[in-house]
A and B are shown apart, each in its own frame.
Chain A
Amino acid sequence: MAIDREQLLHVAHLARLELRDEEVERLGAQLNDILAAVSKVSELDLSEVPPTSHPLDVVNVFGADVPHESLPLEEALANAPEREGSAFRVPPAGS
C-alpha cells in the first residue's frame, strides 16, 4: 500500500500543506513506513462488528437555551494576525 509522490502531493494539497521538495522525500518515506504498520488493521474480518466513534454512552446531549454574553469584539480580534475594522483581514483569493 505504498503512496507515491503524486499521491503524497495530492493529500498534502487536501490538507493545505505546502511541502518543500526535501520534505516530500523525507516525510514520504516515513509515511510509507507508518501506513505499512497501520495497515495491519485490515488483517481482521470485522464485517459484523459495529464501529466505536467514542467510548462514552451519551447521545444527543442538549444544552439549555439560555442567552449569554458573547466575546467582546476587541477580545475576539485580539489575536488576529491582521485586522481591518471589525473583520479579520486575509489576502485575496487568487486564480
Chain B
Amino acid sequence: MIDTLRLTAEQASELVRRREISPAELHAAYLEAIAARDPELHCYLHVCEEAEGEGIPIALKDVIGTRGIPTTAGSRILEGYVPVYDATVVTRLKARGLRILGKTNTDEFAMGSSTENSAYGPTRNPWDPSRVPGGSGGGSAAAVTAGLAPWALGSDTGGSIKQPSALCGNVGLRPTYGTVSRYGIVAFASSLDQVGPVARTVRDCAFLYSLIAGRDPCDSTTVDLPHPVELPEGDDLRGLRIGVPKELNEAEGIEPGVSAAVARAIERCRELGAEVGECSLPLSAEYGMPCYYLIAPAEASSNLARYDGVRYGYRARAADRVEMYARTRDEGFGDEPKRRILVGTYALSAGYYDAFYGQAQKVRTVIRREHDAAFERFDALACPTSPTVAFPLGARTQHPLAMYLSDLLTIPSCLAGLPGLNIPCGLSEGLPVGLQLIGPQFGENTLFRIGHALEQALGFDPVPARLRS
C-alpha cells in the first residue's frame, strides 16, 4: 500500500529501482489518489490514465506543451488545443523515463496569484478547501501537497512557483533566468518566464532541477549551468552569510504570524552556523511591483497577439477577418489577460513608451544593481515568500491591485533574474508559511544547501492536518 501523501520522489524512485513496485502500479496509485481527492481540490485539468516510461510519475502545469495531450494554459482560447510537439523540458523528462500524470490548473496564461483566473474553475488549498492554493501554479502546488503527484513542474514569471508553494506548504524553485528552456511553453512575459520544480523535499526539488536545466538549442535565451547541481546532504550552515533585507521583511501587509515564523527560521539559520546580517533593498521593495506590472503586461500584450483564431485554438464566427480576430479574443480571453493586454498595449503605444515601458526597464537596472550589491556581502537573502497565508476564495477577485500585492515579495528578485526557493517554515492560523531564499545568479546549490539544512532542523510536516491519518 503506497501512501502518496508521504512518499517523496526519491523514495518512489528507490521502490521502482528495487522492483518493489512497477511504474504502472505507482502511476495507478496516484490515479487512485486523484480519483479520491481531486473532485474536491480540482488540481488537474487533464489526467493521463495511461503513460509510457519506466520511471515515476510527474504532473505538469498546463502551460507546458505536451504532444498529444491537451494544453490550455487555463484559457478558453486554447480549449481543445492539442500540441503536435513536446516542450524541451518534457522531452528531457521523458528521456529519463518519467511518466506524465496529467496537466495542472493555472490562472489563465499564468496571470494571477490564486488560480481563480482559470477559465476552468479554481483549485482549492489542501490545508483548507475554502482557501486558495496561490497562483498561478496552484494546481501543481496543491497536487504535490495533496499526494496527487510526487512532484511537478510549474512556471514562474513574478512568483507563480514560489507563492503557491508557500501557500500549500511545499518546496518550489524559481531557477536563475536562462537555465531552463522555455521551448514549447505558453509564453507570458519572455524576459521573466522560467520553468521550475515543485516538490515535497529540497532534495527532490534539486534533483528535478538537474533533469531540466541546461542549454537548449531551441531556446537561444538558455545557458549551461556553470557548475553541476549538487544534491544537498549536510545539516549545518557554517561558512554561509545570510542577509535579511529589511524592506522585504518589514513591508506593510505582512501578517504577524508570517513574520514570526520567518524570523524563527532565520534564527534557526544562525543556530546552524550561518552568519546572519541585515541588508537593504529599498528601491526594489518600493518600485518592484509597479515596474513588474508594466514590463510583464507589455510583453504579454505582444506574446498574446498570436491568439487570433487563425491557426489553432478558439475562433469566433464573423463575416470579416478583423472582426473575427477581435471577437475571438473578446470571447476567448478572460478578464485578467484582457486587463494585461490593455495595460501593455497602452504602455507600449506611441507617446507613452518612454514614460512607461522605457522607464520600467531602467527601474529594472536599479533593482538588479541593488541585488548585486547585497550579494557582495551575502551568499543568500531571506524573507517571507508571501505576505499572507492562504486567503479565502473570492477575497481578492474583485480587486486586481489587491491580488497583485500577493507577489510583492517575490517580484523584485524575478526582475533581477535571480533564483528563489520557497520552503515551508511553520504554520500561522493552521496554514503554511513560506520562507523565501534568494540567491545570486546560478546560486541554486547554495539555496538547496540552506533549504535542506533548515528542512531537517524545522521538521515541518508537509501533510495537511486534515489529510493525516
CB-defined contacts of B35 to chain A, threshold 8 Å:
none
A78 to B427, CA, bound (A): 49
CB distance from B211 to the nearest CB of A (A): 21
Q: Contact between B401 and A41 (Cβ–Cβ < 8 Å)?
A: no
Assess whether B319 is in contact with A94, with CB atoms less than 8 Å apart: yes
The reply to whether A55 and B416 form a contact with Cβ atoms under 8 Å apart is: yes
CB distance B321 to A92 under 8 Å?
yes
Q: Do A49 and B366 touch (CB < 8 A)?
A: yes
Task: Give the distance to chain B from A15, nearest Cβ to Cβ, in Å.
Answer: 4
- A76's nearest neighbour on chain B, judged by CB, is B84
**Interface size range of chain B in the complex:** 35 or more
Interface of B is mostly: helix
Binding-face segment, B261-269, B288-296, B374-382: B288-296
**B355 CB-CB contact with A under 8 Å:** yes
- Contact between B220 and A90 (Cβ–Cβ < 8 Å)? no
Please classify how large the interface on chain A is, using the bins under 10, 10 to 19, 20 to 34, 35 or more. Answer: 35 or more
* Cα-based distance from A37 to B52 in the complex (angstroms): 49
Q: What distance in Å separates the Cβ of B203 from its nearest Cβ neighbour in chain A? A: 27
A31 touches B339 (CB 8 A): yes
The interface residues of chain B lying within 8 Å CB-to-CB of A93 are 320-322
Interface residues of A in 54-95 (CB under 8 A from B): 54-56, 58, 61, 63-64, 71, 75-76, 78-82, 88, 90-95
B178, A56: Cβ atoms under 8 Å?
yes
CA distance A76 to B319 in the complex (A): 25
Contact present for A41 and B360 (CB under 8 Å): yes
In the docked arrangement, what's the CA distance between A38 and B81, Å? Answer: 34
Q: Is the CB of A44 within 8 A of B366?
A: yes
Q: Is the CB of A82 within 8 A of B368?
A: no
Q: Which of A12, A44, A56, A92 contacts B342 (CB 8 A)?
A: A12
Which single member of B177, B311, B339, B401 contacts A79 (CB below 8 Å)?
Answer: B311
Tell me the minimal C-beta distance from B217 to chain A in angstroms: 6
Q: For the complex, give the distance between the alpha carbons of A31 and B220 in Å.
A: 34
> Given A15-B301, A16-B326, A27-B338: A34 and B293 within 8 A (CB)?
yes
Interface centre among B290, B322, B346 (most CB of A within 10 A): B346
A34 and B339 contact, CB distance less than 8 A? yes
Report whether B221 and A78 are in contact in the complex, using a CB–CB cutoff of 8 Å: no
* Known contacts A35-B343, A55-B191: A16-B287 contact under CB 8 Å: no
Docked CA distance A82–B316 (Å)? 11
Residues of B within 8 A of A71 (CB): 84-85
Contacts of B345 in A (CB 8 A): 11, 14-15
Closest to A20 in B: B330
CB–CB B358/A51 < 8 A? yes
Residue from A39, A54, A88 within 8 A of B417 (CB atoms)? A54
B330 partner, pick from A19, A30, A75, beta carbons under 8 A:
A19
Check A17/B294 contact, CB under 8 A, given A34-B401, A54-B191, A94-B321: no
Chain B residues numbered 391-430 whose CB sits less than 8 Å from any CB in chain A: 400-401, 404, 415-418
Any A CB within 8 A of the CB of B130: no
Contacts A11-B346, A94-B322 given; does A55 touch B177 at CB 8 Å: yes
Closest beta carbon of chain A to B65's beta carbon, Å: 12
Cβ-defined contact, A58 with B290, below 8 A: no
Interface string of A16-49 (1 = CB under 8 A from B): 1111100100010011011101111110101001
Cβ-defined partner of A23 (8 Å) among B326, B338, B356, B401: B338
Query: Does B363 lie within 8 Å of A16, measured CB to CB?
Result: no
Q: Cβ of B229 < 8 Å from any Cβ of A?
A: no
Identify which of B323, B400, B415 contacts A30 (C-beta below 8 A): B400
Pair A46/B366 contact, Cβ less than 8 Å = yes
With contacts A52-B365, A79-B82 known, is A88 near B342, CB below 8 A? no
Q: Would B294 and A79 count as touching, CB distance under 8 A?
A: no
A35 → chain B closest CB, angstroms: 7
B309 contacts A by Cβ under 8 Å: yes
User: Whose C-beta in chain B lies nearest to the C-beta of A83?
Assistant: B311
Residue in B326, B362, B415 whose beta carbon sits within 8 Å of that of A17 in the complex: B326
15 contacts between A and B (CB under 8 A): A16-B322, A20-B330, A31-B343, A38-B293, A41-B287, A44-B363, A46-B359, A46-B365, A53-B361, A61-B221, A71-B85, A79-B311, A81-B314, A82-B315, A93-B322
Q: Can you add 11 more A-B contacts, CB < 8 Å, to A15-B305, A56-B177, A94-B320?
A: A16-B325, A27-B335, A31-B339, A37-B401, A44-B362, A52-B362, A52-B364, A54-B417, A55-B417, A58-B178, A80-B312
Closest 3 CB pairs of A and B: A55-B417, A94-B320, A51-B361
